[in-house]
A = this chain, B = another copy of it.
């Protein structure tokens, strides 16, 4: 058997000597050093070099030194694709967001990055731009990289997305929504509750004719989370026996300052007597406030305004914007904290499969008690 092997090897050696550069369409640039090059230079086995990176304490100081020097002279950077293939651990965590332009989603990314850094995972971020088809595409792209966990935004997924996610075999976290029946885990808050909270806040202050502004939808883009907020808002008004038809859905997501200003204009045209408005996002609220200034409508006297998100600008406005805050960076961090034990192979704690990070009403200057 031994002899047979030798023969095969020699035959192989002959062929491979012929073709030096295997793939001409390979990325250009001088060939990178491999673990093999390092091992030769340091006169150790490849395994020793591997251990140098994964478990340096196992090496004898002298060996460690030789390897370190070789690594340095060759400017060796281990190839994680090869490592992943062999160890069956990619070191990736996939994060799929609607958009990065929203600073709250960016905060999620930052929080998650921070939480997973000590474990040496790398984030693989994708964004959908609120396009419905894009989520599927992104999930497939991600799955091809064999992430060790997948974090998606929201609870609404196409059938195919849901199928891909439930079959993917790694932990899945649904972010920023709390589905009744999560695919796997969920970390978030209730968007519906936020709408309700906004409506109740406005009613409690004595506002009478209350409207809302959110994003519309097109054939290929939706903002499910904003829509949930509007729904909660309508519910609260209805169950209080109030008018709940003053809900403007304007423009395609994401909602911007400008869309907020326009949305308010639409609302005022619909019902000039509106005395308070909830906008699905602070950005729209700020836009609405600017529109008020242009129209000489006093805030909060002429119009009460409440937003969502507690974006940085909210507290800085004059008057400062009343809003509902969610700690998005914390959301990301919590997600990381839920995932880390799972990635270490520990079983999921049943209580941590659905984490509500809650929300907080930040009453500031744009809402105030109305004189009856």
CB-contacts of A266-307 with B (<8 A): 283, 286-287, 290, 293-294
Decide yes or no whether A1 CB sits under 8 A from chain B.
yes
Contacts of A129 in B (CB 8 A): 110
Known: A81-B90, A141-B122, A146-B79. A313 touches B313 (CB 8 A): yes
Known: A85-B82, A169-B28, A261-B316. A107 touches B101 (CB 8 A): yes
How many copies, total?
2
Contacts of A75 in B (CB 8 A): 164, 167
Contacts of A256 in B (CB 8 A): 312
Which single member of B8, B124, B126, B315 contacts A5 (CB below 8 Å)?
Answer: B8
Report the separation of the CA atoms of residues A302 and B343 in the bound assembly, to the nearest whole angstrom. 58
Report the separation of the CA atoms of residues A30 and B286 in the bound assembly, to the nearest whole angstrom. 49
Closest chain B residue to A86, Cβ basis: B23
Which single member of B8, B141, B168, B286 contacts A316 (CB below 8 Å)?
Answer: B286
CB-contacts of A237-272 with B (<8 A): 256-258, 261
Interface size class of A (residues with CB under 8 A): 35 or more
CB-contacts of A144-174 with B (<8 A): 144-146, 148, 164, 167-170
Which single member of B11, B30, B82, B168 contacts A1 (CB below 8 Å)?
Answer: B11
Report the separation of the CA atoms of residues A89 and B258 in the bound assembly, to the nearest whole angstrom. 43
Decide yes or no whether A350 CB sits under 8 A from chain B.
no
Contact with B along A106-121 (1 / 0, CB 8 A): 1101100100000000
Kindly provide the distance from the CB of A260 to the nearest chain B CB, expressed in whole angstroms: 9
Decide yes or no whether A32 CB sits under 8 A from chain B.
yes
**What is the interface of chain A, defined by CB distance below 8 A to chain B?**
1, 3-5, 7-8, 11, 22-23, 25-30, 32, 75, 77-82, 84-85, 87-90, 99-101, 103, 106-107, 109-110, 113, 122-127, 129, 140-141, 143-146, 148, 164, 167-170, 256-258, 261, 283, 286-287, 290, 293-294, 312-313, 315-318, 343, 345
Known: A25-B345, A80-B144, A290-B318. 17 other contacts (CB 8 A): A25-B89, A26-B88, A27-B148, A27-B169, A29-B168, A29-B170, A77-B143, A79-B85, A81-B90, A82-B85, A101-B110, A122-B124, A123-B125, A125-B125, A257-B313, A258-B316, A283-B312
Task: Please provide the 3 A-B residue pairs with the shortest distance between their CB atoms, ordered closest to farther.
Answer: A29-B169, A4-B4, A26-B88
Q: List 9 interface pairs A-B (beta carbons < 8 Å), by A numbering.
A: A1-B11, A5-B8, A22-B88, A26-B89, A27-B170, A75-B167, A99-B110, A110-B129, A258-B315
